[in-house]
Chain A
Amino acid sequence: GESVGLHLPTLSVQEGDNSIINCAYSNSASDYFIWYKQESGKGPQFIIDIRSNMDKRQGQRVTVLLNKTVKHLSLQIAATQPGDSAVYFCAETDTGRRALTFGSGTRLQVQP
Chain B
Amino acid sequence: GAVVSQHPSWVICKSGTSVKIECRSLDFQATTMFWYRQFPKQSLMLMATSNEGSKATYEQGVEKDKFLINHASLTLSTLTVTSAHPEDSSFYICSARDPSEGTGELFFGEGSRLTVL
Contact assessment for B43 and A102 in the assembled complex, using a CB-CB cutoff below 8 Å: yes
From A11-19, A38-46, A58-66, A69-77, the one touching the partner chain is: A38-46
Contacts of A101 in B (CB 8 A): 46
Interface size on A, residues (CB 8 A): 21
Pair B43/A105 contact, Cβ less than 8 Å: yes
Residues of B within 8 A of A1 (CB): 60
A104 contacts chain B at the CB level, 8 A cutoff: yes
State which of B32, B43, B49 has its C-beta within 8 Å of the C-beta of A89.
B43
B105 contacts partner chain A, Cβ-Cβ < 8 Å: yes
A41 pairs with B104, CB closer than 8 A: no
B22: A residues at CB distance < 8 A: none
* Contact for B113 among A36, A41, A99, A105, CB less than 8 A: A41
Which residues of chain B are near A41, meaning CB under 8 Å? Answer: 91, 111, 113
Per DSSP, chain B at the interface is: strand
Interface mask (B71-102 → A, CB under 8 Å = 1, otherwise 0): 00000000000000000000101010100000
B103 touches A49 (CB 8 A): yes
Known: A44-B44, A89-B43, A105-B43. A100 touches B113 (CB 8 A): no
B52 within 8 A of A: no
Write the nearest CB–CB distance from B57 to chain A, whole angstroms.
Answer: 9
Contact across chains for B44 and A89 when beta carbons are under 8 A apart = yes
Residue in B42, B97, B104 whose CB lies within 8 Å of A104: B42
List the interface of chain A (C-beta within 8 A of B).
1, 32, 34, 36, 41-46, 49, 89, 95, 98-105
Sampled A-B contacts (21; CB under 8 Å): A32-B104, A41-B111, A43-B93, A43-B108, A43-B109, A43-B110, A46-B105, A46-B107, A46-B108, A89-B43, A89-B44, A98-B49, A99-B46, A100-B34, A100-B44, A100-B95, A100-B106, A102-B43, A102-B45, A104-B42, A104-B43
